[in-house]
Each structure stands twice: as C-alpha cells, then as structure tokens.
Amino acid sequence: MAQLHTIQQLFSIDPFSKYQTAAVHICKAGNKSRERNSRWLEKGKTGYWNGTDSPLIAVALQRSDSEIYDIWVGVLKDGTEGKKRQNGTQDWVFHVSGERFKNIGWYDRAEQSHESFYGKKAGGPRVIAENLAASRQLATEIFARTNDEASEILQEIWVRGPQHRKFRNDLKKLWRSQCSVHGVKCNGLLRASHIVPWSKDESIRGDVNNGLLLSAPLDALFDAGLVAFDADGKLLRSKQLTHETQLVFGILDELTLKWTTFVLPQRKKIRTNLARHRELHAADHGYVG
C-alpha cells in the first residue's frame, strides 16, 4: 500500500479509471467508531452517511492516534438506498460491488494538509457537496446515539481532472496498453504512474515522458521508492526491499523497461525524470542493481 499525494490518484487505478466523479467522505472519528468503520469497509459497506449521486465512493479514514488517513474506494452496488431512523432522518448504508472496499493507499496530514491533498492544486476541481452541513449534523446525531467519542464527517464530490485522463490515455498509447516493465496487459490492472510526483513539479504534470504504465504491484513499489530504474531502464532495488516482498510482488528476475522501440530523444526525456525519481528516494532507500 503506497503513500498517496493527491486524491486524483484514485482515478489512475482500474476499475476506478472509467469514472468521472467520486464522493469522498473524510472521517475523523473516535476509537470505537474507527474500529467499527474499518470492520464495515472490509465487509463492503460504510456506516450511516448522507446519500450521493456518484457511483464511485471513497472513504478517508483516520488511523488511531495518528495523522495518517487510509483511502478506501469502491463502486456502489445497484439498489443502495437510505434507511429511515426513529427520529425521521434518513441515513445511507453504502454497499459496494465485490466483497469489500479496496484500500488503495494513505496520506499523512503531518506532511500535507487536507487542502493540499484534495484542493485544486492536487490535479482537478473540487465541488463541496451541498449537504455538507447535513453531514455534520448527521455525524452529531449518530455518535450521540452510539455514545461514542466526538467525530467529524466531511462529504465532498471530487471531479476528475481532464488532464489526468489525457495523461493516462497518452501513456496507454505510448506503451500499447501494456505494463512498461512486463510488456503484458495484466488484465487491465495497470496504473498511470508519475515518475516525478505532481506535488514536486507542476510543469511536467501531464507530460507523457514523466510517466510509466505499471502493473499494480510495481506501481506500489515504485511510488514508495522501493524500486527505481537506471539510465538503461534496468530495475533497481531499494536496500530496504526484503526478499519476502520481492517474492510476493514477483520481481525476483532481472527486469527492464520495454522501451527499445522508443526514439532516443524521448528515451532521454524519460531518463531525466527517472534520475529525478532516484534522487528523491536515494537518501532513504539507496539502490542496487
């Protein structure tokens, strides 16, 4: 599970990449509520919140005694609807397709604010839900009923930025919808991975030469700095990458970028960004061939 730098990254993950909006619930809760929400998310449903018209829903759930928020994402199952409470209010229990929500990563508020993670500079426009005040009132009522600690639920609708859709489509065209390393389509489980993070350099945010199309396991390792690539495209391993992790993620063989058909000027641009990626992570990871 990788560290995320913008909520826009959820749109780079299949099957979520085909959606244009996501309803995001930021949940800062007491310990009892947090434990309950975690159990529910693992069972494919949320707690009681206001309804949404967006089929894609994300939950940012704060960890206990931490400023880290885990991001869970799922596609609403048809028929999801509200349930009347004794006091006449209507709450929604969101059920998602498949067995559970998917935990796609986390972000740390000690390093970046909510505004940085969700704001316009994160890659796209944000629209605050009209029922934000109702969400807060609902949270107050819920936790009063459950006798839990104070909690906060913020709901907003996040609109996918058109530049990220173009970036992903350009990467798929460049790499022929195949993993940049393995050279196979991976059943569509490919992520548009930025080499230099958006937060580090806005000028190359949508540059296809600042991206790789990676299988989900490789994307997680690359984003965390646990793997990198040298000037020849050869995969490098972090000194912190364990043998067990390599075994589970399937990177025991010698791996190289499949870019032999690229013209040299384009390969040079990608090399430049790969060097910046290594520099960003070198202090923590170091790299070996």
Residue 232 token pair:
């020849």
Instruction: Kindly tell me if the per-residue pLDDT of 171 is higher than 60.
Output: yes
CA proximity to 68, closest of 112, 108, 15: 108
Q: Cα(19)–Cα(98) distance, rounded to whole angstroms?
A: 17
Domain boundaries of the chain, sorted by first residue: 2-159, 162-288
3-class DSSP state for residue 99? coil
Q: What is the pLDDT of residue 233?
A: 95
| Cβ pair 30, 71 in contact under 8 A | no
Task: Retrieve residue 226's tokens.
Answer: 């646990």
3-state secondary structure of 211: strand
Alpha carbons 6 and 106: distance in angstroms, whole number: 10
| Spatial separation of the C-alpha atoms in residues 30 and 151, rounded to whole Å | 6
Read off the tokens for 19: 């959606």
Whole-number pLDDT of residue 162: 58
Contact 124, 161 (CB under 8 A): yes
- Taking the C-alpha atoms of residue 33 and residue 26, their distance in angstroms, rounded to an integer, is 13
In this predicted structure, which of 84-88, 146-150, 172-176 has the lowest mean pLDDT?
Answer: 146-150
Summarize pLDDT for 23-33 with one digit per residue, the tens: 787 777 666 66
